[in-house]
Amino acid sequence: MWKKWNSLNLSVQIIICVIIGFLIGVFAGEELSVLSPLGDMFIKAIQMMVILIIVPSIVSGFCSVDNPAQLGKTGVKIIAVFAFMYVLAATVAIVLVNLFKPGVGMQIVIPEGYTYEPVSQTFLQLLSSIVPKNPVQAFADGNLLQILFVSVLLACCTTLIKDKVPAVVTFFDQLNSVIMKMLSAIMRVSPYAAGLLMAIAIGVNGPAILGDLAIFILIMYVGQFLLAFCNVLVVGAAGMNMVAYFRRVLEPAIIAFTTRSSLAALPANIECVTDLGVPRGIGTFGVTIGNTINMGGTSFYQAVCVVFIAQAYGIEMSLTQQIIVALSAAVLCVSLVGIPGGGLASLGVLLAGAGLPPEGVGLIIAVDAIVDMPRTLNNVFGDASATIIASKLDGLIAADSPLLRRKYKK
């Protein structure tokens, strides 16, 4: 039995454990929260890998690309796909929230003791914050955009003189292999960790699903899964094998779903796109930058939340106002970090911008963990598909990639 289990592919193991975790969560209930430190251990271990993985992966990846200008060209395309996904997320959000009107007639009270703490940043502040004063600090703080800035600069300069510094290139190449080995060792426990995290999430938050917010939660799940499915369709429309993409992206996506952190799923997502034939430098760059600036799932969630809260307060929002909110959500998401509840923290800014009471955030706080799961999954889908699509448009996908096979073969 153990042998058979070990022969299963990691995504299948994860799915099985998540289903078992779900059932345990339903039956065991809130008591499971005592196991949270164990779940946190796994999340911390994969977050630790994020910091280790980016520099060697980007430097060795960039050095292996023959034409460095290609990175800029493909990078622009990746960002264009991100923008398209934001528009898609905004459209689906507005359609669903107006169709189902989850907040109309609600009688929910804001939890006692809840106070609103604003979080905001202008675009120029964001831009200037990309350059770190101290790179060591950037790594210590885990500031992804700053880490990416340092890594790309280092990688570009190494690439420019790679013939003169073969030892540096070899060092990063070999370091990259060691770190990938570490990652795969940690990922061996991911099915059990994912199952445990699922059990805790359902055990602790489960009863809220049955409450007044059921339709709101349903819209979140339907919308996010629909958007994830759109990602698969767009990969298909770009002439690639949708089944191959879907099967491979499931692994980082389920890690994202259960950890509620797209940052934690980043190493697995880098592996996913490189396995699917995207050159390592471009794959690492695409999904890492996407991890912070591309959060289609979160922008969908925020747009739905704002209109939902307006409905719950009995405030009418015009279609134009809703569109402005949805697009502002996209802009706001550019500076968010892929951690659990990252999107909730900045929701108050959007509410205030829309002239709604920021305390409205309190209406959904009880179920935020439950709706964080599908939005994080969707964020990860978006990063992977944009990187893959842009690479395909530039003809960079490896010839033996399963994405280029007409029929899916294991």
Pick the closer one to ligand ASP by CB: 241 or 294. 294
CB of 188 to ligand ASP, least distance (A): 23
Q: In terms of CB distance, is 245 or 300 closer to ligand ASP? A: 300
Dihedral-angle region of residue 236 (phi above 0 means left; psi in -120 to 50 means alpha; beta otherwise): alpha
Alpha-carbon distance of 297 to 93, in angstroms, equals 10
Please choose, from the candidates 368, 371, 18, 10, the residue with its C-alpha nearest in 3D space to the C-alpha of residue 200: 18
Comparing every residue's Cβ against ligand ASP, the nearest one is 343
Minimum CB distance to ligand ASP, residue 298 (Å): 3
Closest CA to 289 of 93, 176, 147: 147
Contact 371, 220 (CB under 8 A): yes
Closer CB to ligand ASP, residue 274 or residue 335? 335
> What is the closest distance, in whole angstroms, from the C-beta atom of residue 217 to ligand ASP in the complex?
15
Could you give the CA distance from residue 302 to residue 85 in angstroms, rounded to a whole number? 15
247 within 8 A of 409, measured Cβ to Cβ? no
For ligand ASP, which is the closer residue by CB, 245 or 257? 257
Our CB check for ligand ASP shows the closer of 251 and 372 to be: 372
294: left (phi over 0), alpha (psi -120 to 50) or beta: beta
Question: Residue 291: in which H helix or E strand, if any?
Answer: helix 280-293
Identity of the residue, 77 or 260, whose beta carbon is nearer to ligand ASP in the bound complex:
260
Minimum Å gap between C-beta 346 and ligand ASP is 9
- Give the shortest CB-242-to-ligand ASP separation in angstroms: 23
Residue number with CB closer to ligand ASP (238 or 344) = 344
Cα separation, 274 vs 314, in Å, equals: 49
Q: Which residues bind ligand ASP (CB under 6 A)?
A: 260-262, 295, 298, 338-344, 372, 375-376, 379
The C-alpha atoms of residue 100 and residue 215 are separated, in whole angstroms, by 8
Distance, CA of 93 to CA of 12 (rounded, Å)? 31
CB of 347 to ligand ASP, least distance (A): 9
User: Considering the complex, what minimum distance in angstroms separates the CB of residue 243 from ligand ASP?
Assistant: 25
